[in-house]
Amino acid sequence: MSIASDPAASREPPWAFDDEAGPARLRDALAQRGYACCLAPGLAAAAERDPWAVARRLLGNVQLVESHPIHPVPHGRSFASTSGITPLHTDSQSRRGVPPRWQIMLCTRPAASGGETLLVDTWPLLERIEAHDPPLYQALLTRTRRMRFVFGDVVGPTVSLRGGGVVFTHSPIGSGDDVERGLAPWLERAPRIELRVEADEVMVVDNHRMLHGRRAFEDPQRRFLRLLVWTGVPAVAPKRLHAAVAAAHEQLERTLHGRPKAEREAFLGASPADPEAERRLGIVLEMLRGASPGVLARRHDVPEAELYRWRDAVLRAAEDGLAGLER
């Protein structure tokens, strides 16, 4: 791994991840810098077979995992399937109104040249904007926007409280509004961390805090696997920032009072779920992915009959929810 624009990190050689000390070391690095890189041979291949298991090895308990191959293909349309520049952005697919907390990038083969990852830490960025452009700062926290993504629009403030934590949302496509235009020169001037992730290395990024992008490349053999991971654990943002975003969130809650639940969730993110319900759903998701009911029953000390009752409840709720969606 080579790093530019981050002198402190550039003196730190890649460290080898192991299941005993690796998770704690990873958590410490992520809390300090918002990203971390380590050496983990074979982990990309393991993630192709079982992305949930790899996400757990790195981050502990997880709520949801998405897996995305990242490599250029003929006539590719998304940034993941092309070799061009990827603008700074966040991965803002939603689980109950909350985007994935973590982006995990597992490298099988880097490009011969180019393809470096670019990161911008939004916490110091917002501090600078607050000091030098207070109207823009307030707009980022309070202005409701429709931000366009390939998977669908995200509606709400650029910086919002979702899932109990501060979340920065930024589209690579562009929305063309005045907030985006005001933010653009700040992003151009923002200090950037540039990472070249090599084969068998893993990069983990705090997707609620860090904007990420990519330089262009020409090598068609570049191969990464991206995991998007929801854990339900919010980032601990600076107190001043968290307080300002929480105040804006409370005002938006009052504005949306009485609106339909789905609309409130889209703007605000869902309220924290019942921990026991989350635990049961996690077990059911394991069962649906093919884990043996007998193994799950022993592991979680739950009778198999109860597991099947939970599974049927989840499937009934899913069917009812899908039937109620407009086409």
Task: CATH number of the domain at 93, please.
Answer: 3.60.130.10
pLDDT per residue as tens digits for the range 236-255:
999 999 999 999 999 988 88
How many domains does the chain divide into? 2
Sheet holding 86-89, edge to edge: 2-4, 193-196, 117-121, 210-214, 86-89
Residue 96 shares a structural domain with residue 170: yes
Say if residues 287 and 302 touch (Cβ distance below 8 Å).
no
pLDDT per residue as tens digits for the range 108-128:
999 999 999 999 999 999 999
pLDDT per residue as tens digits for the range 60-106:
989 999 999 999 888 777 888 898 999 999 999 988 889 999 999 99
Sort residue 176 into left (φ over 0), alpha (ψ -120 to 50) or beta. Answer: left
Residue 8 shares a structural domain with residue 93: yes
| Dist. CA 161–CA 168, nearest whole Å | 9
| Dist. CA 308–CA 239, nearest whole Å | 44
Domain boundary among 253, 268, 283: 268
Tell me which DSSP letter residue 115 carries. -
| Dist. CA 266–CA 144, nearest whole Å | 11
pLDDT at residue 11 is higher than 80: no
pLDDT per residue as tens digits for the range 292-307:
999 999 999 999 999 9
Instruction: List the domain range (segments joined by +) for residue 72.
Output: 2-268
Residue 135 shares a structural domain with residue 40: yes
Residue 196 shares a structural domain with residue 316: no
pLDDT per residue as tens digits for the range 93-112:
988 889 999 999 999 999 99
Supply the mean pLDDT for the chain: 90
pLDDT per residue as tens digits for the range 143-187:
999 999 888 899 999 999 998 999 999 999 888 899 999 999 999
Residue 280 shares a structural domain with residue 234: no
Residue 17 shares a structural domain with residue 68: yes
Residue 160 shares a structural domain with residue 240: yes
CA distances from 1 to 12, 262, 297 (A): 10, 43, 42
Sort residue 258 into left (φ over 0), alpha (ψ -120 to 50) or beta. Answer: left
Residue 21 shares a structural domain with residue 94: yes
| Dist. CA 267–CA 98, nearest whole Å | 10
Residue 247 shares a structural domain with residue 286: no
| Dist. CA 294–CA 304, nearest whole Å | 7
Helices assigned H by DSSP within the chain? 7-10, 22-33, 43-49, 51-59, 122-132, 134-142, 178-189, 239-255, 261-268, 275-288, 293-300, 304-323
Residue 90 shares a structural domain with residue 203: yes
